[in-house]
Amino acid sequence: MPTAKPALLALEDGSVYHGRAFGAAATIAGECVFNTSMTGYQEIVTDPSYFGQIVTLTAPMIGNYGVNEEDTEAAAPRASGLVVRELSPIVSNWRATTSLDAYLSKYGIPGISDIDTRALTKKLRVDGAMKCCLTTLPLTEAEAIARAKGWHDMAGSDYVKDTTCTEPYFWKLDDASRYNTPYVPPGTTLGLPHIPAKRFTVAAFDFGAKYSIFRKLVNHGFDVKVFPATATAEEVMEHAPDGVFLSNGPGDPAALGYIHKTVSGLVPHFPIFGICLGHQMITHALGGTTFKLKFGHRGGNQPVKNLETGKVSITAQNHGFATDPASLERGGAVVTEINLNDNTVEGLRHKALPVFSVQYHPEAAPGPNDADPLFSDFYRLIEQRKAGKI
């Protein structure tokens, strides 16, 4: 095995971490964040919500099961860079088609290994997410620190325009059914979603959506027409969907005034379900506000309590901004769920309209399936609206 080349990670506060390079030979600046998931690195690096971010994985060994063609959440990696403690030199999984090293190299994404990711994560928890520079090319510490400081801040950034689709399209049923089929023991139906006989059409906004979201919608009884983030309320209404879905995505939710306007125009007319950035778009459309978290929630182990039922779910999350709960009341909404780690808002619903949202990722890619019933809740909401019950 050839000797790995040196790599360097520099933070805006002047901290520098030396390690070994993998992935592409490149220099990139971005926001340094951490993810606490134990598995699912392929889904993480291909999640468009990580656009502009360099992701530190807290699991100690990464890459042991390689990369395959079926578990990607976008056509290519969307994270800017990857930081790991140890990169496995061996790929051992029957589904693997390549290594993580080769995969990132193919798409120009740099990575650094053999650094103390525990120390880095503790720094980000104490001091907050920071601007950083990751380089696998010859670069001095001073040059890397300067590049980190010179990167624009995540606050105020519109990254949705870099990750959304450009034209409306239909998500095909076979695109959804090929992937993420749960293992079911012989003779049981454990884990299989209930697929209703009647299907509803949903207009799904792509703000940087993961593929698994559309797969879940299809598997829960929806025909999905995907719209770019720039689509207007009038363009959506021309297609007369039964409901509207608002996806996850990257960047600062306060910087997306054109989406706030669109969602405001749709709220009175359709049942709406939003997740992650979609949740924040509903917040702003109802007149609420959002704020930047110190280090965000990123991982597959975030506990969320439903204030209306008392149920606690373990959820998959990836966000750096949150809804101000005090701002929801004036828009006619109430907080339905909170994060048990810091009591931030994790869900809302409108008091009079069939509109609800969650801050987390219920499609569980990667992560637990506790929140899967939310897709069925959305189906029933549309069913009730069509029956004139709400």
Tens of pLDDT along 336-366?
A: 999 999 999 999 999 999 999 999 999 999 9
Q: Is residue 202 in some structural domain?
A: yes
Same domain, 265 and 315: yes
Average pLDDT rounded to a whole number, residues 4-29: 97
Q: Are 164 and 91 in a shared domain?
A: no
- Which domain-ending residue is among 129, 150, 171? 150
Q: State the DSSP H helix or E strand holding residue 278, giving kind and residue range, or none if neither.
A: helix 277-285
In this prediction, residues 261-286 reach a mean pLDDT of 98
Helices within 151-231 (DSSP H only):
160-163, 173-177, 211-219
How far apart CA 174 and CA 104 sit, in angstroms, is 27
Neighbours of 44 (CB within 10 A): 26
In which element (H, E) is residue 334 found?
strand 333-339
The confidence score (pLDDT) of residue 390 equals 86
In a domain, 340, yes or no: yes
pLDDT band at 196 (very low <50, low <70, confident <90, very high): confident
For the chain, helix, strand, coil in percent to 5 are 25, 30, 45
Instruction: Tell me, yes or no, whether 367 and 260 share the same domain.
Output: yes
Catalytic residue among 12, 73, 361, 383: 361
CA 90/CA 95 separation, integer angstroms: 14
pLDDT in tens, 144-164: 999 999 999 889 999 999 999
Residue 230 predicted with pLDDT over 80: yes
Residues 247 and 353 in one domain: yes
27 and 71 fall within a common domain: yes
- 18 is annotated as an active-site residue: no
**Mean pLDDT confidence for 13-33:** 98
Helix (H) or strand (E) holding 21: strand 16-23
Q: Which of 133, 276, 297, 319 is catalytic?
A: 276
DSSP H/E element including 211 = helix 211-219
- My answer on whether 134 and 203 are in the same domain is no
Sole residue written with tokens 């530190």? 56
Share of the chain above pLDDT 70, in %: 93
**241 shares a domain with 123:** no
User: Does residue 121 lie within any of the structural domains?
Assistant: yes
pLDDT at residue 185 is higher than 60? no
CB 376 within 8 A of CB 326: no
Nearest to 68 by CA among 51, 86, 46, 50: 46
Q: Give me the catalytic one of 12, 43, 73, 363.
A: 363
Q: Of 116, 150, 184, which closes a domain?
A: 150
Note whether 96 and 73 are same-domain residues: yes
3-state secondary structure of 180: coil
Average pLDDT over residues 283-289: 97
Residue 107 pLDDT > 70, yes or no?
Answer: yes
User: Where is 265: in which H helix or E strand?
Assistant: helix 257-266
Average pLDDT over residues 47-76: 96
Axis-axis angle for helices 277-285, 257-266 (nearest 10): 70
Q: Does residue 185 lie in a domain region?
A: yes
Q: Is 354 helix (H, G, I), strand (E, B) or coil?
A: coil
Q: Are residues 212 and 357 in the same domain?
A: yes
Dist CA 241 CA 330 (whole Å): 28
Residues 144, 148, 151: CA angle, nearest 5 degrees: 135
Indicate the average pLDDT of the chain.
93
Is 284 assigned a catalytic role?
Answer: no
pLDDT at 111 over 80: yes
Q: Is 132 a catalytic residue?
A: no
Range of the domain at 304: 160-386
In a domain, 1, yes or no: no
Q: Which two tokens stand for residue 49?
A: 């919500």
What is the longest distance spanned by two Cα atoms in the chain? 67
- Is 375 contained in some domain? yes
| Within-domain flag for 155 | no
Provide the pLDDT for residue 2.
57
Q: Are 250 and 145 part of one and the same domain?
A: no
Domain of 119, CATH number, reads: 3.50.30.20
Edge to edge, the sheet with strand 333-339 lists 169-171, 222-228, 200-206, 243-246, 272-275, 355-358, 345-350, 333-339, 290-306, 312-323
- What is the distance in angstroms between the CA of the first residue and the CA of the last residue of the chain? 64
Last residue of a domain, one of 116, 132, 150: 150
CB-CB contact of 279 with 257 (8 Å): no
3-state class of 333 per DSSP?
A: strand
Beta carbons of 47 and 318 less than 8 angstroms apart: yes
Q: Can you give the pLDDT at residue 283? A: 98
- The residue assigned the tokens 């805006």 is 12
Average pLDDT, stretch 365-375? 94
Instruction: Indicate whether 311 and 347 sit together in one domain.
Output: yes
Coil, helix or strand at residue 54: strand
Nearest CA-CA partner of 21 in 84, 112, 87, 93: 112
Tokens 């502009």 identify what position? 52
In a domain, 124, yes or no: yes
Give the number of domains in the chain: 2
| CATH number (domain holding residue 342) | 3.40.50.880
Residue 373 and residue 288 in one domain: yes
